[in-house]
Chains A and B, each alone.
Chain A
Amino acid sequence: MSNSNHSSRRGISRRTFATGVAAAGIIAGSAPFNIVRAQAKSLKVGVLLPRSGVQAGIGQDCHRGVEITAGVLKELGLPSLEIMNGDTETNVDVARSRAERLIADGAQLLVGAFDSGQSTAIAQVAEQRGIPYVINIAAAPPITEQGYKFVFRNFPTAPMILTDAFANQLEIFKIAGTAPKTAVFMHVNDTFGTAMQKGFTGVMSKFTMPYKVVETISYDPAARDLSVEVAKAKATGADSLIMVSRLNDAILLTRELVKQRWSPTAVLSMGPGWYEDQYLKTLGKLSDGPMSFVPWYDPNKKVSKLLEKALAKAHPGINLNTNHVYTFEALLVAADAFKRAGTADPQKLADAIRATNITDNVSTGPGIQFNAKGQNDKLKNSAIQNRGGKLVAIAPASASNAKPELPMKPYDKR
């Protein structure tokens, strides 16, 4: 005790001095690293995708978009991105915890997550932590209606998809000279499906559609068997199907249509599933005919060609699609903002994203800009049709490369 008092009276002991020198040395020594970090050449981007679980197929497909991004960014003269992958396991709670984890591990910007429910959870985390989040694919409108300052979406909302879908359908029916008279609307009951269902009637009423929706059927996207759903739809006597689905259920539904000997004159899809490569490969000639009204890409744009080339090299035989395009564009937004901001500081990065004006892009429409809510409201959709294992664009006329085939060839005549 007396020694201690004695020491304190003396002021700084030899040990304290040595500790202080060591601490100063560490701080001084690490300072150059701080400077290096502030001027980093790459941005750490946490990419959250459902790479396992029910949406695994689509999550893996989105990841192909991540894989081909680096080369294209280099060709465009944009800075490289350091990708940190996170698997949401097609689960909202896991998506939230993976987002937290990626931020804790140093992610400076988040991208993802294909699904509206998972994206909503990630948006909450990003906003709380003040980390910019660029949504690749998610259509539920509320995500960009919360007044968030760090959340940006370069993907159309459900009403935007529906509006373009009905407009494109009218164009197709006019070109084909025929149209369905009645339809059953089937949709998955997840966040995306429910958002589309809520907007469907309201948006449809703004158009003079030739068909009447006679039944609406919702179902679980994880269902193992969809025979009841198809039996119920068939019993209505409708001549066409309007779908909002995912991948696995689109395959299951097509199988049931064939087994239950029901060939609608048209399958009009307003979501993923029916144009995916796995759908085309699994069902072969039975995959021909469905039309998808989806956010797509303009094949005439320069960057589209670069992306097609990169995908063909990395994954021969796979068609470029929505998943690759919009995942790539989310990363393009990140790289572009990082270049302009010159820093990974979250606030400055978010400000740079808000000021984005990319016209040299891939998706259909004038380019990438965000409104005050963080939504790109300039995006346009296309209509595509499955033909012989390939996808052709059939509307709008300005971005099409084929005429629509309507009615669809019956399944038993293939």
Chain B
Amino acid sequence: MGLPIEIYLNVAASGLLTGLVYGLMALGLSVIFGVVRVVNFAHGEMMTVGMYVAILAFATLGIDPLVMMVPIAAVLFVFGYLLQTGLINPFINRPEHSQFMLLVAVALILVNLQLIVFGPDSQGVRTSYSFDSYAIGPLIIDASKVYAALAAVAVAAALFAFFRFTLLGKAIRACADNYHGALVVGLNVKHLYALTFGLGTACVGAAGAMLVAITDVTPTIGPAYTLLAFVIVITGGLGSMPGALLGGVLIGVTEALGGLLFTPSAKSMFAFGILVLVLLFRPQGILGRKLS
């Protein structure tokens, strides 16, 4: 088509930055599944909760969404912890379809609560840097996306460090590796499950705070993000933390370049195309472990 090379670079950079935020969102889903073995069908809806809290804080107190990232993550952590303790733990040993339906019900309740509280109109924030962009040579990079992507990398790094270097993180990994072994050595598995679910929802809450700096939110957009998170974690490897980030970046860049090279209205087709290829040739995902 003969487009200048800087257009490809601009679009790829935009896809990379958005993909990192998507990656953090999917990371929460991957962490929950990797440890608790529950598929969170309300993941996107939980992210919209984070987005609305960020909008509320901005509208009432004027606090920047990126500053609100930590408080929102804390609120969502408590929400996730209580949800796992009060609602999901009793379903842990029930058939998978019961768990699915439970979380689909949670998703529907969240969507409708948001519709009641915030209404159906799209809402967003307009920060001092909302319309800023950086010009680096021929590249023009959206400032909001840069900040959001940097924050996503920082949160993901903190999560990696938590699971790798802290005693609590190691205990959670032990639960994921060997449920019965963890029980035998006296770990409080249900508490650790609740902590993990809380961490997953905290991740998605933080991602919501970042995303609201990039795009608007409506209550009904949650299911689209849930689907996107699934595509990313299945591509990267369900249960793999680096896989979720890699999947996010891959999907973000593929959608962006695919839209540029072909037609933008078929952007999501490329994401699903990658998903189909991964399922065909590497069903466990790019960085996922092969199930025995």
Residues of A near any B CB (own CB < 8 A) = 51-54, 56-57, 59-60, 89, 189, 217-220, 222-229, 231-232, 234-235, 247-248, 251-252, 255, 258-261, 278, 282, 286, 411
* A–B pairs, 10, beta carbons within 8 Å: A52-B219, A56-B119, A60-B121, A219-B265, A227-B256, A231-B7, A232-B259, A232-B260, A235-B7, A259-B142
With A228-B264, A229-B264, A231-B10 as contacts: A251 and B121 at CB distance below 8 Å: no
Quick check: is B89 within 8 A (CB to CB) of the other chain? no
Say if the beta carbon of B11 comes within 8 Å of chain A.
Answer: yes
Q: Complex Cα distance A57/B221, Å?
A: 14
Q: Which residues of chain A are near B260, meaning CB under 8 Å?
A: 228, 231-232
When distances are taken between beta carbons in the complex, the residues of chain A under 8 Å from B10 are 231, 260
Is there contact, CB below 8 Å, between A232 and B216? Answer: no
- A51-B120, A258-B131 known; A225-B218 Cβ under 8 A: no
Q: Min CB distance, B67 to chain A, in Å?
A: 21
- CB-based contact B256/A228 at 8 Å: yes
**Total contacting residues, chain B, CB less than 8 A:** 39
Cα-based distance from A52 to B119 in the complex (angstroms): 8
CB-based contact A259/B133 at 8 Å: yes
With a cutoff of 8 Å between Cβ atoms, the chain A residues found around residue B99 in the complex are: none
Q: Which 6 A-B pairs have the closest CB atoms?
A: A56-B120, A228-B259, A52-B120, A258-B131, A189-B265, A218-B265
Chain B residues closer than 8 Å to A252, beta-carbon distance: 215-216
Instruction: Take A57-B122, A60-B121 as given contacts and tell me if A224 and B215 are in contact as well, using a CB distance cutoff of 8 Å.
Output: yes
Across the interface, which residues of B come within 8 angstroms of A227, CB to CB?
11, 14, 142, 256
Give the complex CA separation of A226 and B135 in angstroms. 19
Contact B267 A255 (CB under 8 A): no
Partner of A232, one of B15, B18, B264: B264
Q: Are B215 and A217 in contact, with the CB atoms below 8 A?
A: no
* In contact, A231 and B11 (Cβ under 8 angstroms): yes
On chain B, the residues within 8 Å of A229 by CB distance are: 259, 264
Indicate if the CB atoms of A235 and B4 lie closer than 8 Å: yes
Instruction: Establish whether residues B263 and A224, one from each chain, have CB atoms under 8 Å apart when the complex forms.
Output: no
A251 touches B133 (CB 8 A): no
Q: Does B178 contact A (CB under 8 A)?
A: no
Q: Are B121's CB and A255's CB within 8 A?
A: no
Q: Is B240 an interface residue (CB 8 A)?
A: no
The answer to whether A225 and B265 have CB atoms under 8 Å apart is: no
Residue of B nearest to A50 (CB): B120
Tell me if B3 is interfacial: C-beta within 8 Å of chain A: yes
CA distance A255 to B216 in the complex (A): 11
Other A-B pairs beyond A225-B18, A227-B256, A411-B131, 8, CB < 8 Å:
A52-B120, A54-B220, A56-B119, A60-B120, A218-B265, A235-B3, A259-B132, A259-B133
Query: Is the beta-carbon distance between B265 and A261 smaller than 8 angstroms?
Result: no
Give the distance to chain A from B201, nearest Cβ to Cβ, in Å.
21
- Minimum CB–CB distance from B256 to chain A (whole Å) comes to 5
- The interface residues of chain B lying within 8 Å CB-to-CB of A89 are 220
